[in-house]
Amino acid sequence: VSPQVNLVEEIQRLKREKNAVILGHFYITPELQDISDFLGDSLALARKAQETDADVIVFLGVHFMAETAKILNPDKKVIIPDLKAGCSLAESAPKEAFAKFKAEHPDHKVISYINCTADIKTLSDVIVTSSNAKKIVDSFPEDAKLIFAPDKNLGNYLNSQTGRDMVLWDGACMVHEKYSLERILELMDENPDAEFIAHPECEKPVLMVAKYVGSTTALLNYVQQHEAKKFIVATESGILHQMQKACPDKVFIPAPSIDSTCGCNDCTYMKLNTVQKLYLALKHERPEINLDADTIEKAKAPILRMLELS
* Of 87, 127, 133, 166, the one binding ligand SF4 by CB under 6 A: 87
CB atoms within 10 A of CB 12: 14
Q: Which residue type sits at 310? A: S
Stretch of residues binding ligand SF4 (CB under 6 A), selected from 68-76, 169-177, 247-255, 288-296: 169-177
Residue with smaller CB distance to ligand SF4, 15 or 25 = 25
Q: What is the CA radius of gyration of the chain?
A: 19
Q: Which residues 6+ apart lie within 8 Å of 298 measured at CB? A: 121, 122
CB of 306 to ligand 13P, least distance (A): 12
Do residues 284 and 111 lie in contact, with contact meaning Cβ atoms separated by under 8 Å?
no
Backbone angles phi and psi of 39, in degrees to 5:
-125, 140
Total residues at interface with ligand SF4 (CB under 6 A): 13
Cβ-count burial of 53 within 10 angstroms (0-12 exposed, 13-18 middle, 19+ buried)? exposed
Q: How many CA atoms lie within 13 A of 115 on its CB side?
A: 34
List contacts with ligand 13P (CB under 6 A). Answer: 26, 41-42, 115, 129-130, 173, 201, 215-216
CB of 258 to ligand 13P, least distance (A): 18
Task: Give the interface with ligand SF4 as residue ranges (CB under 6 A).
Answer: 27, 62, 87-89, 115, 173-175, 236, 267, 269-270
Binding-site residues sit at: 25, 42, 87, 113-115, 130, 173, 199-201, 216, 267
Binding-site residues for iminosuccinate sit at: 25, 42, 113-115, 130, 199-201, 216
Binding-site residues for [4Fe-4S] cluster sit at: 87, 173, 267
